[in-house]
A = this chain, B = another copy of it.
Amino acid sequence: MSQPDIWASDRNGALLTDLYELTMMEAYHREDLHDTAVFDLFIRKLPDNRNYLLAAGLESALTYLENLRFTEEALTYLDSLGHFSADFLDYLADFRFTGDVFAIPEGTPVFPNEPILEIVAPLPQAQLAETMLLNQVHHQTLMASKASRVVDAAGEGAVVDFGARRMHGIDASLKAARAFHIAGADATSNVLAGQVYGIPVSGTMAHSYIEAHADEQAAFEAFATAYPETVLLVDTYDTLEGVRKVADMARHWGEAFRVRAIRLDSGDLARLARESRAILDDAGLQEVGILASGSLDEYAIAELRAQDAPIDGYGVGTHMGVSEDAPYLDSAYKLVEYAGEPRMKLATHKVTLPGRKQVFRQLDDRGTYQRDLVTRGYEQAPGTPLLRSVMAEGQRLPDRAPDLATIRSHARREREALPSQQRALEAAPAPYPVAVSEDLKKTAETLRQRLSS
Protein backbone atom coordinates (compact mmCIF):
# COMPACT_ATOMS: atom_id res chain seq x y z
CA MET A 1 0.00 0.00 0.00
CA SER A 2 1.44 3.35 -1.02
CA GLN A 3 1.09 6.41 1.15
CA PRO A 4 -2.28 8.13 1.08
CA ASP A 5 -1.75 11.07 -1.21
CA ILE A 6 -4.05 13.98 -1.60
CA TRP A 7 -3.35 14.30 -5.31
CA ALA A 8 -3.57 11.55 -7.84
CA SER A 9 -0.83 11.61 -10.42
CA ASP A 10 -0.93 11.18 -14.18
CA ARG A 11 1.35 8.20 -13.71
CA ASN A 12 -1.42 6.06 -12.27
CA GLY A 13 -4.33 6.89 -14.58
CA ALA A 14 -4.57 3.35 -15.92
CA LEU A 15 -5.71 2.11 -12.50
CA LEU A 16 -8.55 4.64 -12.36
CA THR A 17 -10.88 1.95 -13.61
CA ASP A 18 -13.36 -0.51 -12.15
CA LEU A 19 -11.81 -3.85 -11.29
CA TYR A 20 -14.21 -5.62 -13.63
CA GLU A 21 -12.75 -3.80 -16.62
CA LEU A 22 -9.44 -5.51 -15.83
CA THR A 23 -10.96 -8.93 -15.16
CA MET A 24 -12.88 -8.69 -18.43
CA MET A 25 -9.72 -7.58 -20.22
CA GLU A 26 -7.89 -10.64 -18.96
CA ALA A 27 -10.74 -12.87 -20.07
CA TYR A 28 -10.78 -11.23 -23.52
CA HIS A 29 -7.04 -11.66 -23.69
CA ARG A 30 -7.22 -15.38 -22.82
CA GLU A 31 -10.00 -15.92 -25.33
CA ASP A 32 -8.14 -13.87 -27.94
CA LEU A 33 -11.03 -11.46 -28.32
CA HIS A 34 -8.93 -8.64 -29.67
CA ASP A 35 -11.17 -7.74 -32.58
CA THR A 36 -12.48 -4.24 -33.06
CA ALA A 37 -15.24 -3.18 -30.72
CA VAL A 38 -17.40 -0.07 -30.93
CA PHE A 39 -18.60 1.50 -27.67
CA ASP A 40 -21.03 4.43 -27.53
CA LEU A 41 -20.96 6.90 -24.66
CA PHE A 42 -24.35 8.55 -24.37
CA ILE A 43 -27.01 9.77 -21.94
CA ARG A 44 -30.09 7.57 -21.69
CA LYS A 45 -32.54 10.20 -20.55
CA LEU A 46 -32.63 13.78 -19.35
CA PRO A 47 -33.18 14.67 -15.70
CA ASP A 48 -36.65 16.17 -15.13
CA ASN A 49 -35.42 19.74 -15.22
CA ARG A 50 -33.13 19.67 -18.23
CA ASN A 51 -34.21 20.15 -21.84
CA TYR A 52 -30.78 19.69 -23.36
CA LEU A 53 -27.23 18.87 -22.33
CA LEU A 54 -24.03 20.62 -23.32
CA ALA A 55 -21.32 18.14 -24.32
CA ALA A 56 -18.03 18.56 -22.45
CA GLY A 57 -15.10 16.46 -21.31
CA LEU A 58 -13.67 15.40 -24.66
CA GLU A 59 -10.34 17.13 -24.04
CA SER A 60 -9.88 15.15 -20.81
CA ALA A 61 -10.99 11.94 -22.48
CA LEU A 62 -8.45 12.26 -25.27
CA THR A 63 -5.61 13.26 -22.95
CA TYR A 64 -6.39 10.19 -20.87
CA LEU A 65 -6.43 7.84 -23.86
CA GLU A 66 -3.22 9.24 -25.26
CA ASN A 67 -1.36 8.81 -21.96
CA LEU A 68 -2.78 5.45 -20.94
CA ARG A 69 0.11 3.32 -19.58
CA PHE A 70 0.56 0.79 -16.78
CA THR A 71 3.54 1.79 -14.66
CA GLU A 72 5.76 -0.66 -12.83
CA GLU A 73 4.04 0.35 -9.60
CA ALA A 74 0.60 -0.30 -11.08
CA LEU A 75 1.65 -3.73 -12.32
CA THR A 76 3.14 -4.62 -8.93
CA TYR A 77 -0.13 -3.69 -7.28
CA LEU A 78 -2.20 -5.71 -9.77
CA ASP A 79 0.11 -8.68 -9.26
CA SER A 80 -0.39 -8.40 -5.50
CA LEU A 81 -4.14 -8.94 -5.92
CA GLY A 82 -3.51 -12.51 -7.01
CA HIS A 83 -6.23 -12.36 -9.70
CA PHE A 84 -4.07 -11.85 -12.75
CA SER A 85 -1.73 -14.10 -14.72
CA ALA A 86 1.88 -13.19 -15.49
CA ASP A 87 1.00 -13.36 -19.18
CA PHE A 88 -1.74 -10.77 -18.76
CA LEU A 89 0.49 -8.49 -16.71
CA ASP A 90 3.13 -8.69 -19.47
CA TYR A 91 0.44 -7.68 -21.95
CA LEU A 92 -0.48 -4.70 -19.74
CA ALA A 93 3.17 -3.62 -19.50
CA ASP A 94 3.12 -2.92 -23.24
CA PHE A 95 -0.44 -1.64 -23.31
CA ARG A 96 -1.24 1.41 -25.45
CA PHE A 97 -4.54 2.76 -26.68
CA THR A 98 -4.42 2.36 -30.46
CA GLY A 99 -8.05 3.02 -31.34
CA ASP A 100 -10.07 5.68 -33.13
CA VAL A 101 -12.41 8.15 -31.45
CA PHE A 102 -15.37 9.99 -32.96
CA ALA A 103 -17.02 12.71 -30.91
CA ILE A 104 -19.56 15.49 -30.84
CA PRO A 105 -17.47 18.64 -30.23
CA GLU A 106 -17.40 20.13 -26.74
CA GLY A 107 -19.90 22.95 -26.30
CA THR A 108 -22.51 21.32 -28.57
CA PRO A 109 -26.02 20.71 -27.21
CA VAL A 110 -26.81 16.98 -27.16
CA PHE A 111 -29.89 14.93 -26.43
CA PRO A 112 -30.61 11.43 -25.08
CA ASN A 113 -29.41 8.42 -27.04
CA GLU A 114 -27.03 10.43 -29.20
CA PRO A 115 -23.47 9.12 -28.93
CA ILE A 116 -21.30 11.89 -27.46
CA LEU A 117 -18.25 9.67 -27.96
CA GLU A 118 -17.80 6.62 -30.14
CA ILE A 119 -14.74 4.51 -29.32
CA VAL A 120 -13.55 2.13 -32.06
CA ALA A 121 -10.71 -0.01 -30.70
CA PRO A 122 -9.60 -3.54 -29.94
CA LEU A 123 -12.10 -4.85 -27.38
CA PRO A 124 -9.80 -4.97 -24.31
CA GLN A 125 -8.65 -1.38 -24.89
CA ALA A 126 -12.12 0.02 -25.28
CA GLN A 127 -13.27 -1.92 -22.22
CA LEU A 128 -10.52 -0.62 -19.93
CA ALA A 129 -11.30 2.99 -20.78
CA GLU A 130 -14.98 2.79 -19.79
CA THR A 131 -14.74 4.01 -16.21
CA MET A 132 -12.51 6.99 -16.81
CA LEU A 133 -14.23 8.12 -20.03
CA LEU A 134 -17.57 8.06 -18.25
CA ASN A 135 -16.16 9.74 -15.13
CA GLN A 136 -14.81 12.67 -17.14
CA VAL A 137 -17.46 13.12 -19.83
CA HIS A 138 -20.34 12.57 -17.40
CA HIS A 139 -19.08 15.11 -14.89
CA GLN A 140 -18.10 17.79 -17.37
CA THR A 141 -21.29 17.42 -19.41
CA LEU A 142 -23.32 17.61 -16.19
CA MET A 143 -21.53 20.80 -15.19
CA ALA A 144 -21.64 22.49 -18.60
CA SER A 145 -25.35 21.67 -18.88
CA LYS A 146 -26.15 23.24 -15.51
CA ALA A 147 -24.01 26.30 -16.19
CA SER A 148 -25.57 26.86 -19.59
CA ARG A 149 -28.92 27.39 -17.83
CA VAL A 150 -27.38 29.72 -15.25
CA VAL A 151 -25.68 31.81 -17.92
CA ASP A 152 -28.88 31.99 -19.93
CA ALA A 153 -30.86 33.05 -16.85
CA ALA A 154 -28.31 35.79 -16.09
CA GLY A 155 -28.81 37.47 -19.47
CA GLU A 156 -26.33 40.34 -19.73
CA GLY A 157 -25.25 39.83 -16.11
CA ALA A 158 -21.80 38.37 -15.52
CA VAL A 159 -21.57 34.88 -14.01
CA VAL A 160 -18.59 33.97 -11.84
CA ASP A 161 -17.91 30.45 -10.57
CA PHE A 162 -17.54 30.51 -6.76
CA GLY A 163 -18.03 26.76 -6.30
CA ALA A 164 -14.60 25.26 -5.50
CA ARG A 165 -15.17 24.85 -1.77
CA ARG A 166 -18.21 22.63 -2.06
CA MET A 167 -17.55 20.77 -5.27
CA HIS A 168 -16.73 17.10 -4.97
CA GLY A 169 -12.95 17.18 -4.68
CA ILE A 170 -10.05 18.77 -6.49
CA ASP A 171 -10.57 17.42 -9.99
CA ALA A 172 -14.24 18.42 -9.90
CA SER A 173 -13.34 22.00 -9.06
CA LEU A 174 -10.92 22.25 -11.99
CA LYS A 175 -12.95 20.47 -14.64
CA ALA A 176 -16.15 22.24 -13.63
CA ALA A 177 -14.48 25.64 -13.88
CA ARG A 178 -13.53 24.77 -17.44
CA ALA A 179 -17.01 23.38 -18.25
CA PHE A 180 -18.65 26.52 -16.80
CA HIS A 181 -16.41 28.70 -18.92
CA ILE A 182 -17.36 26.72 -22.02
CA ALA A 183 -21.00 27.24 -21.11
CA GLY A 184 -20.48 30.99 -20.89
CA ALA A 185 -19.43 31.77 -17.32
CA ASP A 186 -17.19 34.82 -17.39
CA ALA A 187 -14.68 33.95 -14.70
CA THR A 188 -13.83 31.62 -11.84
CA SER A 189 -12.58 32.19 -8.31
CA ASN A 190 -10.47 29.03 -8.67
CA VAL A 191 -6.89 30.20 -9.15
CA LEU A 192 -5.54 26.82 -10.24
CA ALA A 193 -8.25 26.56 -12.90
CA GLY A 194 -7.14 30.01 -14.04
CA GLN A 195 -3.57 28.85 -14.33
CA VAL A 196 -4.28 25.48 -15.94
CA TYR A 197 -6.91 26.60 -18.44
CA GLY A 198 -6.29 30.32 -18.85
CA ILE A 199 -9.76 31.22 -17.55
CA PRO A 200 -10.10 34.76 -16.11
CA VAL A 201 -9.98 34.66 -12.29
CA SER A 202 -12.06 36.87 -10.08
CA GLY A 203 -12.59 37.53 -6.38
CA THR A 204 -12.06 40.13 -3.71
CA MET A 205 -12.80 39.72 0.00
CA ALA A 206 -14.65 37.52 2.49
CA HIS A 207 -16.35 38.27 5.78
CA SER A 208 -13.27 37.11 7.65
CA TYR A 209 -11.33 40.09 6.27
CA ILE A 210 -13.91 42.51 7.65
CA GLU A 211 -14.03 40.69 10.98
CA ALA A 212 -10.25 40.70 11.34
CA HIS A 213 -10.42 44.50 11.50
CA ALA A 214 -11.57 46.67 14.40
CA ASP A 215 -14.55 47.86 12.35
CA GLU A 216 -16.05 47.61 8.88
CA GLN A 217 -15.06 51.12 7.79
CA ALA A 218 -11.41 50.44 8.64
CA ALA A 219 -11.57 47.16 6.68
CA PHE A 220 -13.09 48.86 3.59
CA GLU A 221 -10.48 51.61 3.64
CA ALA A 222 -7.56 49.25 4.10
CA PHE A 223 -8.75 46.98 1.28
CA ALA A 224 -9.50 49.79 -1.16
CA THR A 225 -6.07 51.21 -0.42
CA ALA A 226 -4.47 47.91 -1.40
CA TYR A 227 -6.82 47.29 -4.35
CA PRO A 228 -8.38 50.57 -5.51
CA GLU A 229 -10.65 48.98 -8.14
CA THR A 230 -12.01 46.35 -5.84
CA VAL A 231 -15.41 44.97 -4.86
CA LEU A 232 -16.42 45.55 -1.23
CA LEU A 233 -18.50 42.97 0.63
CA VAL A 234 -21.12 44.94 2.54
CA ASP A 235 -23.20 42.40 4.49
CA THR A 236 -20.98 41.34 7.39
CA TYR A 237 -22.97 43.26 10.00
CA ASP A 238 -25.81 45.37 8.52
CA THR A 239 -26.01 45.45 4.76
CA LEU A 240 -27.42 48.94 4.13
CA GLU A 241 -25.16 50.41 6.82
CA GLY A 242 -22.31 48.80 4.93
CA VAL A 243 -23.44 50.47 1.69
CA ARG A 244 -23.67 53.84 3.46
CA LYS A 245 -20.09 53.40 4.66
CA VAL A 246 -19.04 52.89 1.04
CA ALA A 247 -20.91 56.06 0.06
CA ASP A 248 -19.26 57.98 2.93
CA MET A 249 -15.90 56.70 1.85
CA ALA A 250 -16.53 57.94 -1.71
CA ARG A 251 -17.36 61.41 -0.38
CA HIS A 252 -14.21 61.56 1.72
CA TRP A 253 -11.87 60.02 -0.82
CA GLY A 254 -13.04 62.01 -3.82
CA GLU A 255 -11.10 61.04 -6.93
CA ALA A 256 -9.11 58.44 -5.06
CA PHE A 257 -12.31 56.41 -4.74
CA ARG A 258 -12.26 53.85 -7.56
CA VAL A 259 -14.20 50.98 -5.96
CA ARG A 260 -15.79 49.04 -8.81
CA ALA A 261 -18.73 47.36 -7.07
CA ILE A 262 -20.28 46.16 -3.86
CA ARG A 263 -21.25 42.57 -3.15
CA LEU A 264 -24.40 41.38 -1.37
CA ASP A 265 -24.12 37.83 0.02
CA SER A 266 -27.20 37.31 2.22
CA GLY A 267 -30.75 38.46 2.91
CA ASP A 268 -33.45 39.50 0.44
CA LEU A 269 -31.15 40.20 -2.48
CA ALA A 270 -33.75 41.93 -4.68
CA ARG A 271 -34.78 44.39 -1.98
CA LEU A 272 -31.22 44.96 -0.77
CA ALA A 273 -30.03 45.52 -4.35
CA ARG A 274 -32.73 48.13 -4.93
CA GLU A 275 -32.05 49.93 -1.66
CA SER A 276 -28.28 49.73 -2.17
CA ARG A 277 -28.68 51.10 -5.69
CA ALA A 278 -30.65 54.04 -4.31
CA ILE A 279 -27.98 54.79 -1.68
CA LEU A 280 -25.21 54.57 -4.27
CA ASP A 281 -27.10 56.66 -6.83
CA ASP A 282 -27.89 59.34 -4.22
CA ALA A 283 -24.16 59.53 -3.55
CA GLY A 284 -23.49 59.97 -7.28
CA LEU A 285 -22.02 56.49 -7.51
CA GLN A 286 -23.96 55.35 -10.59
CA GLU A 287 -20.86 53.63 -11.91
CA VAL A 288 -20.43 51.43 -8.82
CA GLY A 289 -21.95 48.05 -9.67
CA ILE A 290 -23.82 45.56 -7.52
CA LEU A 291 -22.82 41.90 -7.42
CA ALA A 292 -24.93 39.26 -5.72
CA SER A 293 -24.03 35.86 -4.29
CA GLY A 294 -25.36 33.34 -1.79
CA SER A 295 -27.20 30.14 -2.76
CA LEU A 296 -27.79 31.36 -6.32
CA ASP A 297 -28.79 29.18 -9.23
CA GLU A 298 -30.68 29.71 -12.48
CA TYR A 299 -34.04 29.78 -10.71
CA ALA A 300 -32.94 32.37 -8.13
CA ILE A 301 -31.29 34.51 -10.81
CA ALA A 302 -34.39 34.39 -13.02
CA GLU A 303 -36.48 35.46 -10.02
CA LEU A 304 -34.14 38.37 -9.27
CA ARG A 305 -34.34 39.49 -12.88
CA ALA A 306 -38.13 39.08 -12.88
CA GLN A 307 -38.16 41.51 -9.94
CA ASP A 308 -35.94 43.94 -11.89
CA ALA A 309 -33.29 43.77 -9.19
CA PRO A 310 -30.45 46.10 -10.23
CA ILE A 311 -27.74 43.42 -10.12
CA ASP A 312 -24.79 43.50 -12.53
CA GLY A 313 -23.21 40.16 -11.83
CA TYR A 314 -23.73 36.91 -10.00
CA GLY A 315 -21.29 34.82 -7.96
CA VAL A 316 -22.66 31.31 -8.30
CA GLY A 317 -21.33 28.60 -6.02
CA THR A 318 -22.63 25.33 -4.68
CA HIS A 319 -25.89 24.92 -6.59
CA MET A 320 -24.07 25.14 -9.91
CA GLY A 321 -20.96 23.42 -8.56
CA VAL A 322 -22.76 20.19 -7.68
CA SER A 323 -25.62 20.59 -10.19
CA GLU A 324 -27.82 20.52 -7.14
CA ASP A 325 -31.18 19.83 -8.79
CA ALA A 326 -29.72 17.02 -10.95
CA PRO A 327 -26.41 15.85 -9.48
CA TYR A 328 -25.90 13.08 -12.04
CA LEU A 329 -26.94 12.04 -15.53
CA ASP A 330 -28.10 8.65 -16.70
CA SER A 331 -24.92 8.08 -18.66
CA ALA A 332 -23.96 4.83 -20.37
CA TYR A 333 -21.02 3.31 -22.26
CA LYS A 334 -22.28 0.40 -24.28
CA LEU A 335 -20.84 -2.15 -26.66
CA VAL A 336 -22.73 -1.66 -29.92
CA GLU A 337 -20.56 -3.66 -32.32
CA TYR A 338 -17.92 -6.36 -32.10
CA ALA A 339 -15.93 -7.92 -34.93
CA GLY A 340 -18.16 -6.17 -37.45
CA GLU A 341 -21.38 -7.51 -35.92
CA PRO A 342 -23.90 -5.19 -34.24
CA ARG A 343 -24.51 -5.88 -30.52
CA MET A 344 -27.15 -4.83 -28.03
CA LYS A 345 -28.50 -5.56 -24.58
CA LEU A 346 -32.15 -6.35 -23.90
CA ALA A 347 -32.42 -5.84 -20.12
CA THR A 348 -35.58 -4.04 -19.04
CA HIS A 349 -35.74 -0.36 -19.92
CA LYS A 350 -32.15 -0.31 -21.03
CA VAL A 351 -32.30 -1.17 -24.73
CA THR A 352 -29.41 0.25 -26.76
CA LEU A 353 -29.09 0.98 -30.48
CA PRO A 354 -26.57 -1.30 -32.21
CA GLY A 355 -23.69 -0.52 -34.57
CA ARG A 356 -21.66 2.53 -35.53
CA LYS A 357 -23.69 5.71 -35.88
CA GLN A 358 -23.91 9.27 -37.05
CA VAL A 359 -26.09 12.07 -35.73
CA PHE A 360 -27.47 14.59 -38.23
CA ARG A 361 -28.74 17.90 -36.88
CA GLN A 362 -31.34 19.52 -39.05
CA LEU A 363 -32.02 23.28 -38.82
CA ASP A 364 -35.02 25.29 -39.95
CA ASP A 365 -34.83 28.34 -42.25
CA ARG A 366 -33.93 30.60 -39.36
CA GLY A 367 -31.04 28.39 -38.23
CA THR A 368 -32.91 26.95 -35.25
CA TYR A 369 -32.53 23.27 -34.43
CA GLN A 370 -35.48 21.41 -35.87
CA ARG A 371 -34.70 17.77 -35.22
CA ASP A 372 -31.85 15.30 -34.98
CA LEU A 373 -31.62 12.03 -36.85
CA VAL A 374 -29.54 9.15 -35.54
CA THR A 375 -28.44 6.90 -38.39
CA ARG A 376 -26.10 4.01 -39.02
CA GLY A 377 -22.53 5.20 -39.51
CA TYR A 378 -22.51 4.85 -43.28
CA GLU A 379 -25.84 6.60 -43.98
CA GLN A 380 -26.16 10.01 -45.55
CA ALA A 381 -28.97 12.33 -44.46
CA PRO A 382 -29.84 16.02 -44.59
CA GLY A 383 -28.32 18.20 -41.87
CA THR A 384 -24.94 18.57 -40.20
CA PRO A 385 -23.18 15.38 -39.09
CA LEU A 386 -22.18 15.93 -35.45
CA LEU A 387 -19.78 13.05 -34.82
CA ARG A 388 -16.30 13.90 -36.07
CA SER A 389 -13.06 11.97 -36.09
CA VAL A 390 -10.86 13.32 -33.28
CA MET A 391 -8.33 10.50 -32.70
CA ALA A 392 -6.94 7.94 -35.14
CA GLU A 393 -4.83 4.94 -34.09
CA GLY A 394 -4.36 6.41 -30.64
CA GLN A 395 -3.12 9.79 -31.93
CA ARG A 396 -5.11 12.98 -31.57
CA LEU A 397 -5.89 14.85 -34.73
CA PRO A 398 -4.40 18.26 -33.94
CA ASP A 399 -6.68 20.17 -36.28
CA ARG A 400 -9.63 18.80 -34.31
CA ALA A 401 -8.52 20.28 -30.96
CA PRO A 402 -10.08 23.75 -30.73
CA ASP A 403 -8.88 26.05 -27.95
CA LEU A 404 -11.11 26.98 -25.04
CA ALA A 405 -12.17 30.34 -26.49
CA THR A 406 -13.27 28.66 -29.72
CA ILE A 407 -15.25 26.02 -27.81
CA ARG A 408 -16.87 28.78 -25.76
CA SER A 409 -17.94 30.78 -28.82
CA HIS A 410 -19.27 27.62 -30.41
CA ALA A 411 -21.34 26.91 -27.28
CA ARG A 412 -22.83 30.41 -27.31
CA ARG A 413 -23.82 30.18 -30.97
CA GLU A 414 -25.27 26.72 -30.53
CA ARG A 415 -27.27 27.69 -27.44
CA GLU A 416 -28.80 30.49 -29.45
CA ALA A 417 -29.86 27.98 -32.08
CA LEU A 418 -31.84 25.89 -29.57
CA PRO A 419 -35.63 26.04 -29.87
CA SER A 420 -37.01 28.43 -27.24
CA GLN A 421 -38.90 25.58 -25.53
CA GLN A 422 -35.62 23.76 -24.97
CA ARG A 423 -33.90 26.90 -23.74
CA ALA A 424 -36.53 27.60 -21.09
CA LEU A 425 -35.72 26.81 -17.46
CA GLU A 426 -38.90 24.84 -16.94
CA ALA A 427 -39.43 21.42 -18.50
CA ALA A 428 -40.32 21.73 -22.19
CA PRO A 429 -43.86 20.59 -23.08
CA ALA A 430 -42.36 18.14 -25.56
CA PRO A 431 -38.83 16.75 -25.83
CA TYR A 432 -36.63 17.89 -28.69
CA PRO A 433 -37.24 15.43 -31.54
CA VAL A 434 -34.50 12.85 -31.97
CA ALA A 435 -35.49 10.42 -34.71
CA VAL A 436 -33.89 7.10 -35.58
CA SER A 437 -33.34 6.21 -39.24
CA GLU A 438 -35.27 3.34 -40.81
CA ASP A 439 -32.06 1.47 -41.46
CA LEU A 440 -30.96 1.73 -37.82
CA LYS A 441 -34.42 0.73 -36.57
CA LYS A 442 -34.38 -2.31 -38.84
CA THR A 443 -30.91 -3.34 -37.65
CA ALA A 444 -32.05 -3.06 -34.03
CA GLU A 445 -35.25 -5.01 -34.67
CA THR A 446 -33.50 -7.83 -36.53
CA LEU A 447 -30.96 -8.14 -33.76
CA ARG A 448 -33.60 -8.04 -31.05
CA GLN A 449 -35.48 -10.90 -32.69
CA ARG A 450 -32.31 -12.93 -33.02
CA LEU A 451 -31.36 -12.38 -29.34
CA SER A 452 -34.86 -13.05 -27.99
CA SER A 453 -35.32 -16.23 -29.96
Contact = CB atoms under 8 A, between A and B. Distances in A.
B168 A322 contact: yes
A338 B135 contact: no
Contact of A201 (B19, B67, B165, B329): B19
Contact of A9 (B1, B7, B348): B7
B13 A6 contact: yes
Contact of A7 (B13, B162, B347): B13
Contact of A123 (B132, B212, B345): B212
A206 B13 CA distance: 21
B338 A192 contact: no
Contact of A204 (B6, B23, B190): B23
Contacts of A194: 15, 19, 77, 81
B165 A168 contact: no
Contact of A203 (B23, B191, B324): B23
28 contacts: A6-B67, A19-B201, A23-B203, A23-B226, A23-B227, A24-B205, A24-B206, A24-B208, A27-B226, A28-B212, A31-B222, A74-B195, A77-B191, A83-B227, A130-B206, A131-B190, A134-B166, A135-B170, A139-B166, A139-B169, A166-B328, A169-B169, A171-B171, A208-B335, A211-B338, A212-B338, A238-B346, A322-B322
Contacts of A2: 195-196
A11 to B, nearest CB: 9
B23 A205 contact: yes
A389 interface: no
A398 interface: no
Query: How many copies of this chain?
Result: 2
Q: Which of A1, A10, A73 has the largest count of B CB atoms less than 10 A from its CB?
A: A1
B222 A331 contact: no
Contacts of A30: 222, 226
Given A18-B203, A164-B135, A168-B172, A237 B347 contact: yes
B207 A347 contact: yes
Contact of A26 (B130, B174, B208, B226): B226
A118 interface: no
Interface string A311-331: 000000010011110011101
Contacts of A345: 207, 210-211, 236-237
A4 B335 contact: no
A22 interface: yes
A135 B167 contact: yes
A267 B347 contact: yes
Q: Which of A20, A30, A192, A334 has the largest count of B CB atoms less than 10 A from its CB?
A: A20
Given A15-B192, A78-B191, 7 more contacts: A8-B196, A12-B195, A21-B203, A31-B222, A131-B164, A212-B335, A324-B327
A265 interface: yes
A206 B4 contact: no
Q: Which of A2, A30, A266, A348 has the largest count of B CB atoms less than 10 A from its CB?
A: A348
A257 interface: no
B166 A169 contact: no
A298 interface: no
A344 interface: yes
Interface stretch (A58-66, A375-383, A408-416): A58-66
Interface string A114-127: 00000000010001
A366 interface: no
Interface in A340-372: 343-350
